[in-house]
């Protein structure tokens, strides 16, 4: 295969809800979705078309052992899965991440910018036996030093159904992005022991690209200040706190990048709701937030902490 031309990571990257035929990475939210990756979280409201990540370059498939991959210019996408039915989630996670790193390291796109993780029953189990904590242990056992220096932006969401398959999707680049932390929050990779034997391995966001082609990729963002969950039992207050965290991250990205990021620059936003009955409260908060409502997708998904009812993630262009 011809080598892709080198450019800034994310050069030309844009995200929106459209046909997926020329997208590097497309996420579908229905069983028959015509997309590279079907997200196993039921759609509650929002755009019907797939969420498409495009670079302006026609993507090509890349053969990989144990993974599916596509590349387009400076970016590539990789999807791996782990079968936990025989060995459990921890080992399935470790194997999936070893496969991901084997596919990425030494390739034309060795730098992981953004990861999505989906698996069922994320909160099942007590204490350190909780499945999310076992997932974090498996990931930490498999990743290399470069992965943690600093870790990529990431989201981990629980999907409905019985445990069985872990889905891992990664956006990669031919050069590093810029990792972001939120000044209102403790970095997840510095969480204290009370949240598990291994802290979660992700940054709060990432900057990719340059100038007006730069994009801010916001990780899964919830109602956490410092490292403490806020507003238990109140979905509207939790989402409002999450939006405040998102605003702080946009300001941090602007300071790092030298360009402005505003809620109005959102290209795509996912709002994961633990309870479908909270949809009306969530849409009311979003309507008052300055985020463009036609670019917001609401999904039924479980959050990594039991007390949290909502989480959001998104992509932002410079204002």
* Residue 233: Cβ within 10 Å count: 8
- Is 180 a member of any domain? yes
The token duo for 274 is 């633990």
**Whole-prediction pTM:** 0.94
Active site residue 311: yes
With contact defined as beta carbons under 8 Å apart, do 208 and 268 qualify?
A: no
pLDDT band of 78, cuts 50, 70, 90? very high
Q: What is the pLDDT of residue 33?
A: 79
% the chain with pLDDT above 70: 97
Of the residues 181, 252, 311, 313, only one is catalytic, namely 311
Q: What is the pLDDT of residue 9?
A: 43
- Is 3 a member of any domain? no
How does pLDDT run across 11-51, given as a tens digit for each residue? 579 999 987 778 999 999 987 878 989 999 999 999 999 99
Q: What is the pLDDT of residue 28?
A: 95
Top pLDDT among 2 and 12 is at 12
Mean pLDDT computed over 193-216: 94
pLDDT band of 4, cuts 50, 70, 90? very low
How does pLDDT run across 124-140, given as a tens digit for each residue? 999 999 999 999 999 99
- Is 2 a member of any domain? no
- Is 188 a member of any domain? yes
Residue 12 burial (10 A CB sphere; 0-12, 13-18, 19+)? middle
The token duo for 39 is 């997200």
| Residue 210 confidence (pLDDT) above 90 | no
Q: What is the pLDDT of residue 8?
A: 39
| Alpha carbon distance, N-terminus to C-terminus of the chain | 37
Mean pLDDT computed over 57-69: 90
How does pLDDT run across 256-299, given as a tens digit for each residue? 999 999 999 999 999 999 999 999 999 999 999 999 999 999 99
Q: What is the pLDDT of residue 5?
A: 33
Lowest model confidence (mean pLDDT) among 30-44, 190-204, 229-243, 298-312: 30-44
Domain count, the chain: 1
**Mean of the per-residue pLDDT values for the chain?**
93
| Residue 156 confidence (pLDDT) above 60 | yes
State the CATH number of the domain containing residue 218.
Answer: 3.30.1330.40
pLDDT band of 65, cuts 50, 70, 90? confident
| Residue 6 confidence (pLDDT) above 80 | no
- Is 96 a member of any domain? yes
| Residue 232 confidence (pLDDT) above 50 | yes
Q: Does residue 78 come out as left (phi exceeding 0), alpha (psi in the -120 to 50 range) or beta?
A: beta
Mean pLDDT computed over 70-82: 95
- Is 220 a member of any domain? yes
The token duo for 21 is 């035929």
Q: What is the pLDDT of residue 64?
A: 84
Domain range holding 249?
14-318
- Start-end of H helices in the chain: 89-104, 131-142, 235-257, 279-287
Closest to 155 (Cα-Cα) out of 126, 113, 212, 121 = 113
- Is 153 a member of any domain? yes
In the sheet that holds 205-208, the strands lie side by side as: 43-45, 296-300, 261-273, 310-318, 215-221, 205-208, 178-180
- Is 5 a member of any domain? no
Which residues in the chain belong to E strands, given as ranges? 14-17, 25-28, 37-38, 43-45, 51-54, 60-64, 67-72, 75-83, 111-120, 153-159, 165-173, 178-180, 205-208, 215-221, 224-225, 228-229, 261-273, 296-300, 310-318
Q: What is the pLDDT of residue 249?
A: 98
């Amino acid at each position: 295969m011809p080598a892709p031309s080198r450019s800034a990571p994310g050069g030309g990257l844009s995200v929106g809800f459209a046909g997926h035929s020329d997208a590097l990475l497309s996420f579908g939210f229905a069983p028959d979705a015509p997309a590279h990756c079907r997200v196993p979280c039921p759609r509650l409201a929002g755009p019907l078309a797939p969420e498409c990540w495009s670079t302006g370059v026609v993507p090509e498939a890349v053969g990989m052992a144990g993974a599916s991959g596509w590349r387009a210019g400076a970016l590539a996408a990789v999807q791996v899965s782990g079968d936990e039915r025989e060995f459990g989630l921890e080992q399935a996670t470790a194997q999936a991440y070893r496969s991901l790193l084997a596919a990425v390291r030494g390739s034309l796109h060795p730098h992981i910018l953004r990861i999505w993780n989906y698996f069922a029953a994320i909160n099942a189990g007590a204490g350190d036996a909780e499945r999310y904590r076992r997932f974090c242990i498996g990931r930490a056992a498999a990743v290399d030093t470069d992965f943690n220096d600093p870790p990529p932006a990431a989201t981990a969401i629980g999907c409905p159904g019985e445990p069985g398959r872990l889905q891992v999707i990664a956006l990669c680049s031919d050069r590093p992005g810029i990792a972001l932390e939120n000044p209102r929050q403790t970095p997840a990779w510095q969480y204290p022991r009370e949240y598990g034997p291994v802290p979660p391995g992700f940054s709060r966001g990432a900057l990719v690209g340059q100038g007006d082609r730069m994009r801010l990729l916001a990780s899964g963002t919830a109602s956490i200040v410092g490292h403490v969950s806020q507003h238990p039992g109140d979905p509207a207050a939790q989402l409002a706190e999450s939006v405040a965290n998102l605003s702080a991250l946009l300001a941090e990205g602007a300071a790092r990048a030298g360009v402005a990021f505003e809620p109005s620059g959102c290209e795509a936003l996912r709002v994961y709701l633990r309870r479908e009955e909270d949809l009306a409260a969530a849409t009311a908060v979003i309507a008052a937030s300055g985020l463009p409502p036609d670019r917001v997708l609401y999904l039924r998904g479980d959050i990594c902490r039991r007390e949290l009812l909502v989480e959001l993630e998104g992509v932002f262009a410079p204002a």
